[in-house]
Amino acid sequence: MNTQQLDALFIGFGKGGKTLATFLAQKGWEVALVERSKQMYGGTCINIACIPSKSLSNSAQQAARRHFETQLEKQDAYQNAVEDKEKLVSFLRQANYTKLNRNPHATVIDGTATFLSPHAVCVDLDGSNRVTLEAKHIFIDTGTLPALPPIAGLSESKHVYTSTSMMDQFQLPETLVIIGGGHIGLEFAAMYTAFGSHVTILDRGDGFLSTHDRDIAYAVKRTLERQGVQFHLQANVLQIADHDDRTSITYADGSQTQHVLEADAILLAAGRVPNTQHLDLAAAGIEVDDHGFIKVDEFLRTTAPNIWALGDINGGPEFTYISLDDFRIVRDQLFGDGQRSQLSRRNVPNSLFIYPPLSWVGLSEEEARRQGYTVKVATLPAGAIPRAQQIQHADGLLKAVVDARTNRILGCVLFSEDSNEVINLVEVAMNAGLDYRILRDNIFTHPSMSEGFNDLLSQID
Instruction: Tell me the catalytic residues.
Output: 446
Calculate ∠ Cα 255-261-266, nearest 5°.
Answer: 115
Residue 354 near residue 190 (C-beta atoms within 8 A): yes
Query: From CA 13, how far away is CA 98, in angstroms rounded?
Result: 13
Between strands 130-140 and 307-309, the pairing is parallel
Provide φ and ψ at 116, rounded to 5°.
Answer: -105, -30
Residue 243 near residue 260 (C-beta atoms within 8 A): no
Q: Would you give the DSSP letter of residue 247?
A: E
Calculate ∠ Cα 328-54-21, nearest 5°.
Answer: 25
Report, in this order, helix, strand and coil percent for the chain, each rounded to 5.
35, 30, 35
CA 29 to chain CA centroid, Å, is 31
Give residues with Cβ within 8 angstroms of 99, minimum separation 6.
22
Give residues with Cβ within 8 angstroms of 86, minimum separation 6.
none
Residue 46 near residue 181 (C-beta atoms within 8 A): no
Among residues 419, 422, 420, 460, the alpha carbon closest in space to that of 440 is found at 460
Residue 453 near residue 444 (C-beta atoms within 8 A): yes
Between strands 198-202 and 358-362, the pairing is unpaired
Query: From CA 35, how far away is CA 47, in angstroms rounded?
Result: 13
